[in-house]
Amino acid sequence: MTRSGYCQNRLSLEENNIGSLNLSQFEYVEVLVSIIVGLALTQILRGVGRIVTTKTGPPPYRVHLVWTLYLFIFTTLFWWWEFQLSIVEWTMPLYFVVIVYATLLFFISLVLHPSNTDDIENFEDMTLI
């Protein structure tokens, strides 16, 4: 490619505004929150998949499954609810609260479905009800 061809391609990118990303503060925050919420949903679905597909792990427990369904719905609704924050003026405390809240949902999913279930005899002992 000649030097003039490079400059011509660069000009066409700048004209179409493809070469730069103009993210709003909300979009910037939403990327991180979506990653954290996605990790929480992945942990929940992975735990359910482990319960369904393995026979060697702890047997299913109804209360644990209800908590799993509740956390799945709650996490999904939090992600959906967060779109209304696009009209809010973002400050550092608001950013911190939203990130911490999403992180807590992830930690709850880890408690509900730990990565290693070898030490768990049944999910009934894990449930505090």
Domain boundaries, the chain: 21-126
pLDDT at 17: 54
Tell me how far apart the alpha carbons of residues 108 and 97 are, in angstroms, rounded to a whole number: 16
Tell me how far apart the alpha carbons of residues 88 and 26 are, in angstroms, rounded to a whole number: 8
At 91-126, the pLDDT tens digits run: 899 999 999 999 999 999 998 988 877 777 777 777
Tell me how far apart the alpha carbons of residues 103 and 117 are, in angstroms, rounded to a whole number: 22
At 44-55, the pLDDT tens digits run: 999 899 888 887
- Segments in 54-119 forming alpha helices (H): 62-81, 92-112
At 5-59, the pLDDT tens digits run: 544 444 444 555 555 667 788 888 899 999 999 999 999 999 899 888 887 777 7
Length of the chain: 129
Tell me the whole-structure pTM to 2 decimals. Answer: 0.75
